[in-house]
Structure 1
């Protein structure tokens, strides 16, 4: 079971990196697009990071369910799962932003994207608190 935990933590770390980095990268992608008039290397890198982390999120989710099953789905795990689903919604919306950026559409301001980026930090803190404290 320790290997499942290790794989879970590793994949969560990779997914979280994308959750934190991609919205911020879109800000710089927009600047690059305005300068070049087309998608440049930063856009390609941002898309690849998002796509790669999608696989990590699936592995993290499956290993998390495996661990939860082994633990008998205690209440704190169910609350954590709800928080993870909220972060998943954030991630999927980020994917919509990436697809729009690939078409040269940047519908939100830099400030909006920064706030959107910080929302995920609060979600991650809530999940970490649930894992460490196990309040339920």
Structure 2
């Protein structure tokens, strides 16, 4: 596969994965605030379906990124920092799975305010990644 096609697919998968990373914690905010069982069940169903949808997108984003690195020799200090941030995103994704399980078992003890703050982490990571990729400061 040519470099530009692989890069295009990588960007597509990253954007798609981030859509899920932005929205899933927002569903958690609403779940933490839900008072009616029917509302809770509907939001939980949405969160579970979104997680199942976004997980393969994250795998494909990371996989195409690794192919870009390994097949085309992309390197630099900025790339190491980006990979560390991607590892943090993967951990965030995994923690979202744990939080989702807490809602399934009705064992969540975190407030909607906590989830509102938690929801901002991927935004900050995305900003840092974009700066690293575009500016390549080191």
> TM-score, with normalisation over the residues of structure 2?
0.90
8 Å Cα contact 1:68/1:74 also seen in 2: no
> Could you report, residue by residue, the CA deviation over 1:16-45 in whole angstroms, capped at 9, with x for unpaired residues?
11111111101212334x311685222111
Give me the CA root mean square deviation: 1.6
CA contact 1:27–1:113 (8 Å) conserved in 2: yes
Aligned to 2:16: 14
Aligned match of 2:111: 109
Gaps of 5+ in 1: none
The change in CA–CA distance for 1:3 and 1:74 in structure 2 (over 3 A counts) is: same
Larger mean Cα displacement after TM superposition, 64-73 or 124-133: 64-73
Give 1:123's aligned residue.
Answer: 125
Q: Which moved more, 1:70-79 or 1:51-60?
A: 70-79
The 5 Å alignment of 1:1-136 reads 1-32=3-34, 34-36=35-37, 39-69=40-70, 70-136=72-138
Task: Please identify, of 67-76 and 124-133, the stretch whose mean Cα deviation from structure 2 is larger.
Answer: 67-76
- 1:55 to partner: Cα distance: 0.5
Aligned residues: 135
List alignment gaps of at least 5 residues for structure 2.
none
Partners of 2:73 and 2:128 lie apart in 1 by 20
Q: Which runs of structure 1 show a deviation greater than 4 angstroms over 4 or more consecutive aligned residues?
A: none
CA contact (8 A) 1:12 1:56 kept: yes
Q: Report if aligned partners of 2:89, 2:122 keep a CA contact under 8 Å in 1.
A: yes
